[in-house]
Structure 1
Amino acid sequence: MNIVFLLIVVTAFAAAAWRQWHFVPSDGAEAVSSPMEALSSGMVASATGAIELAIGLVGVMALFLGLMKVAEEGGMLVIIAKLIRPLMVRLFPQVPANHPAMGAMILNMSANALGLGNAATPFGIRAMQALDALNPRPGTATNAMAMFLAINTSGVTLLPAKVIAIRAASGSMDPAGILPTTLFATVVSTLAAIAAALLFQRFFPVGQPTAEELAMARPWVADAQAVALPAASTQAAAEDVSAYPLWVCILALGCIVLAIPATIFWGKVIAPWIVPTMMLGFLVFGWLRGVRIYEAFVEGAKDGFGVALRIMPYLVAILVAVGMLRASGALDVIVGTLAVVTAPLGLPAEALPMALLRPLSGSGAYGVMTATLTDPAIGPDSYVGYLVSTIMGSSETTFYVLAVYFGAVQVRRIRHTLLAALTADVVAVVASVAICRYLFT
């Protein structure tokens, strides 16, 4: 991450310096900012926006971390892990089959698949904290962490609700027309993410921990271990967390598969019910399992503030770097250069900014999509309109995800995670172009 961070900043500074060197204000244009002034303003605005974003996440994280605490104390994560055990043990062989991290990862993937946006973040943070309890080298990403985040940034999307809403607001006659294209692109990119994570982990060894790393304070690890310990405290408990019969696991996976067409056909009806039903379901489940749900919820919600504080520096670093890249004009130069090659392949210049900006900035990508869909010369139901919508719905803000999730557990050495995630991003764009060209040209 050190190299990536420095490369983005150096590229932005070099682009701004070149433009500044050739900058000649025209008559009466004193108010026009010079390239370096624009770069400075972009840096300050990005830093401010990063803090505002982190503060805005506090409430969401407090809510869903509270629900996660209720689920943990009621044993929901272990139940979920047991249901999906045949699949998860193959993807995450380093994680014990009944570990709470399994259930937390599944909840995060499910929330992302249903288009819950920031609501999925607390589940992912809880999963990372549980995975860090198994980490032999604090501060360094494990293979399981890398695999989880690679899947997270490319996860199968059943209901890209925000994208559909923007298409509807832009006057689309078929706002939900991207459901099959998004599903196809995310399935392909998820398979690519899994393959990339398995391939690249061989070239990025974990290494031996230093004394300083072993002494690093990790309060979240104690919380994760407190959830996991009761499961192994007695023989009866150990039997309780053994895998369900194979037919039960197959039935559970079958229900997930059947949810795909159900979401495609009834997604607009289902979407408003997801979050309220989730809260009711978690609380009722905890109450039926004998959990003191109010106390557990409040205890879990307290973590939201601590997590927000931990991720702030990481967000400032990555969002300022991305803001510099945009404000310097370097991104425009890259788009103009690549468009010559990508346009004949089905990725025209109008859609290329979305492909490049999506891994870097979620708000920037939404801005690009909205501007494209509302452009009278393009429109939401054109090939370009479907393409930018599909790219938006089938990929994730990779650098943001890595900054938030790794920041929550103080991981600085990310090993092959970024490479695997960016591989999935590239595949998502290629798959989006392929399916949109097949269906809409």
Structure 2
Amino acid sequence: MAGFWGKRKQQALELEAQDATLAQRAKSALVAADERVRVTADELDFAEAELGREATNDLSEALAAVKQHLAEAFQLNQLNHDEIPDTAEELRMRNARIVQLCDWAEDLLDERLSALSDTIARARRAPEIIAGVRADVTRLRARIPHARETIERLAARYAPEALARVEENAGQADQLLGFAEHSAGVAERRREAGQREQANLALEAATESVRRAATLLDAVETFEVEALRAEATLAAIVEDSRGDLEVAVNEPRTPAVVEAMTELRAALAALPPAGVNTDPFTQLSRLRDANTGLDAAIAAARERAARPIPPLEHVHHAIDDADRQLAIAGDVIAGHRGWIGADARTRLAEAERVRIDLDRFLGAPAATVSVIGEDHREQSMTMARRVAHLAGEALQLAQRDIDNSRPQGPDQWGGGWGGGGRRGGGNDLMGGILGGLVIGSVLDGIFD
């Protein structure tokens, strides 16, 4: 009998190990497939510019189909991490489906890209593109001093933790632009030598580096605008929270309501006084979570009809806050794609999905809806807060991935490379730059 139970235990342990392996494979497949979609989208834009829409129609249709099925994969991964407990069988089936969808997506894109590769290689106007890269490098380099000045100015107003997401953008953009110039030179030399495939890959690296540099510099300007919006939104949410506390006093004093009121009062009390450098994003997140917690506690303590209808302006504030959180998270993930894992990408994809659902619920883009009926306000606010919460989680997870991948000491883009091949301990920033590129063998000589 003891042998029977020992065998059952061993089988259970083996199944648990297999499930853990499958879960990790599903996450890796999500990251690879999502990055492949992004790279293919860039390739499609380039091919359309060179060949026209008709020649690239098959690839365009394949990419649309892949995006649709990848959205299902992200939603399955979100279900794996929501608050509803899952059985081992449910997790196993979802992870297997995620792997299946991602493998299918990559196989389909491989097939369609392969059919176009020869035509694209013949049609590319490499000299014009290289000239465009160099012109973009010159234009973007002129923006770097202004970006540095902006960051210095922001440092006098905002706390270091608020600036953490953009404080290194100017330096990283400068490195990316240097890498773009170098890659453009490699592309010229390889093309002159008749090595067309490697020349094209090097040129892709150059154009991608320029695009990323522009994204990082744009993010500095966006941060300044979004920080001001966050401060304005914070004032509105403070007023909303105080109103909620006044309402909550007359609600049934259940333990959940009392605890939620205490948390919201603590969040309000933690707001810094005037003249102190602040982190409006963190303050908004804490206040928003506390506000949402109080709403949930009140909802559980009274009948739906007894709850007040949210004022229209509060609904608009919630939607504005959701859009701001979504924009910031999207900028950070787009600017550091090679470093971002499956969890942050999943939260962002789920936030984008809920945001689209909000537009559908209102029957028009939420940002353009000036009047929201009383029957729709509460649901609209709940969905907007859900978007903001998911986007905030995506940003936190993305920042964690960036911090874990960032080099520990000062280094330049060329510090870990040289000669004619790869070196151990390559620069992590260049790993991030190349994370989304299919460079292949060109890495063996790209730094010649």
TM-score range, shorter chain: under 0.3
**Structure of larger gyration radius:** 2
Query: So what's the TM-score if we normalise by structure 1?
Result: 0.26
- More relative contact order, 1 or 2 (CA 8 Å, 6+ apart): 1
Q: Could you state the TM-score of these two structures normalised by the residue count of structure 2?
A: 0.25
